[in-house]
Amino acid sequence: MRFKKLLLCAALSAFPLLALAEYVEPANMSDDNGSYDESYGGPDTENYNSSYQFEDSLTLQDSLWDRVRDGFNMPDIDSTYTNKHEQWYASRPDYVSRMLERSKKYLYHIVVEVEKRGMPTEIALLPMIESGFNPKALSTSKASGIWQFIPSTGKDFGLKQNYWKDSRKDVTAATQAALNYLQKLYTMFGAWDLALAAYNAGEGTVARAIERNRQLGLPTDYQHLSLPDETRNYVPKLQAIKNIIFRPENYGLTLNEIPNKPYFTTVQAPNKIDAKLAAELAGISLEEFNALNPSFTRPVLITENSYQKLLLPTWAASNFTNNLSGYNRPLSNWHSYQPKRGERLGAIASQFGISIYELSATNNLKPNRNLIVRRPLLVPASVQSGLTRPIDVAAMAQLPIEIPVERESSSKSSAISHKVKQGDTLAKLAKRYGISSKQIMQQNHLKSKNLAVGQVLQLEKQESNSSSSGQSRSSKSSANTSHKRTSASSKKQSSAQSSSHKKTSTSHSKKTK
Q: Which of 408, 429, 449 is the last residue of a domain?
A: 408
Whole-model pTM: value is: 0.66
> Is residue 2 situated within a structural domain?
no
Asked if residue 161 belongs to a domain, the reply is yes
Q: Clarify whether 130 is annotated catalytic.
A: yes
Residues contacting residue 211 through CB under 8 Å, at least 6 positions apart: none
Residue 59 shares a structural domain with residue 186: yes
Beta-bridge mates of residue 419 = 456
Asked if residue 323 and residue 341 are part of one domain, the reply reads: no
Domain carrying residue 306: 266-330
pLDDT tens-digit profile, the chain (513 residues): 444 444 444 444 443 333 333 333 333 333 333 333 333 333 333 333 433 344 444 556 789 999 999 999 999 998 999 999 999 999 999 999 999 999 999 999 999 999 999 999 999 999 999 999 999 999 988 999 999 999 999 999 999 998 889 999 999 999 999 999 999 999 999 999 999 999 999 999 999 999 999 999 999 999 999 999 999 999 999 999 999 999 999 999 999 999 999 999 999 999 999 999 999 999 999 999 999 999 998 999 988 888 999 999 999 999 999 999 999 999 988 887 888 888 888 888 888 888 888 888 888 788 777 887 777 888 887 655 456 555 555 555 555 555 433 333 333 444 566 777 878 888 888 877 777 888 888 777 677 788 877 677 777 654 433 333 333 333 333 333 333 333 444 444 444 433 444 343 344 444 443
Contacts of 239 (CB under 8 A, 6+ apart): 76, 77, 82, 85
Q: Which residue from 473, 513, 511 is spatially nearest to 141, judged by alpha carbons?
A: 511
130: left (phi over 0), alpha (psi -120 to 50) or beta: alpha
Whether residue 426 sits in one domain with residue 357: no
- Find the helix or strand (DSSP H, E) in which 172 lies: helix 171-189
Residues 86, 130, 230, 460: which is the catalytic one?
130
Residues 391 and 418 in one domain: no
d(CA 312, CA 319): 10
DSSP 397-446: HTS-SSPPP-EE-S-EEEEEEEE--TT--HHHHHHHHTS-HHHHHHHHT-
Residue 353 lies in a domain: yes
User: Is residue 275 located within the same domain as residue 244?
Assistant: no
299 & 314 share domain: yes
Specify whether 216 is located in the same domain as 284. no
User: Do 139 and 37 share a structural domain?
Assistant: yes
For residues 280 and 307, give the distance between their C-alpha atoms in angstroms, rounded to a whole number: 19
Q: Are residues 422 and 343 in the same domain?
A: no
Same domain, 183 and 128: yes
Dihedral sign from CA coordinates of 84, 88, 91, 96: negative
Summarize the chain as % helix, strand, coil (round to 5).
45, 10, 40
> Are 315 and 173 contained in the same domain?
no
Q: How far is CA 105 from CA 33, 258, 312, 431, 434, in A?
A: 28, 9, 10, 50, 49
